[in-house]
Amino acid sequence: MPRSSSRGLDDLRSLSIETDVNLHAEGSALIKWGNTHVLCTVSIENGVPRWMRNSEKGWLTAEYGMLPRSTHERMGREAARGKQSGRTQEIQRLIGRSLRQAVNLKYLCEKTIQVDCDVIQADGGTRTASITGACVALFSAIKNHHDDQRAMHQLVSAVSLGIKDDEILVDLDYQEDSAADTDLNIVMTEDQNIIEIQGTAEHAPFSVDQLHTIVSKAKVATDKIIRIQKEALKL
């Protein structure tokens, strides 16, 4: 399947991460992944949820949203409707689960880390961009505003993949995602262990062998992404 961007099947879109883009947040990053742009901010707050009090651990949670004109047509703000969509809730829970693997909660000293991911412009892969950019903002926040650096565990990144006409594509844009027979999002740690695989056969089921190939391609892709994260953090 020829790709609209003239990329090879395994090629990532252009990817850049700029840190310290917000004056007020303890950590921030602007990730530009192709035409998908996400602003990620991290706040460190004293205290933990009631159910975690006296646990001697911290907590991390995340929120996700898309600005009204982040897509081709204006979307109404979910805040104005008074209710988050199921998609929004699913994505922000995924971001939280993923980033909790990036930190040692026991070294957060009963503090809560609040991650906010706001999609400025969407062209596919907003959840993978949010996880990847937010992890950089998270490490920046801990590095500069938390006493115990052991709270930083390992970087986490994510990438989308899909199958179209029996070909496996890495890093789908919106057009490719919409046309794919199967699409997946894979979240991995810096040492290439899997945190989560989200996959759906939209039009045709896929084989176990294809899944193995997809995971192998995700390992290569996330290794490249981790290097970009480290460059942004000057690690």
Q: For the chain, which ranges sit under pLDDT 70?
A: 1-2, 4
pTM of the model: 0.95
pLDDT score, position 44: 96
Class (C level, CATH) for 15-233: alpha beta
pLDDT score, position 214: 97
pLDDT score, position 64: 97
DSSP character for 226? H
Name which of 6, 5, 4, 8 is nearest 168 in CA terms: 8
Q: Checking DSSP bridges between strand 111-121 and strand 59-66, what pairing results, if any?
A: parallel
Alpha helices (runs of H) in the chain, residue ranges in sequence order? 78-81, 86-100, 126-145, 174-179, 208-233
Measured between alpha carbons, how far apart are the two ends of the chain, in Å?
37
Which residues, other chains included, contact 19 with Cβ-Cβ below 8 Å and sequence gap of 6+?
27, 28, 29, 136, 137, 140, 232, 233
Cα–Cα distance for residue pair 143/44, rounded to 1 Å: 12
Name which of 172, 94, 78, 176 is nearest 131 in CA terms: 94
Domain boundaries defined on the chain: 15-233
pLDDT score, position 48: 87
pLDDT score, position 2: 65
pLDDT score, position 1: 58
- Both tokens of residue 196? 């989560």
pLDDT score, position 202: 83
pLDDT score, position 34: 96
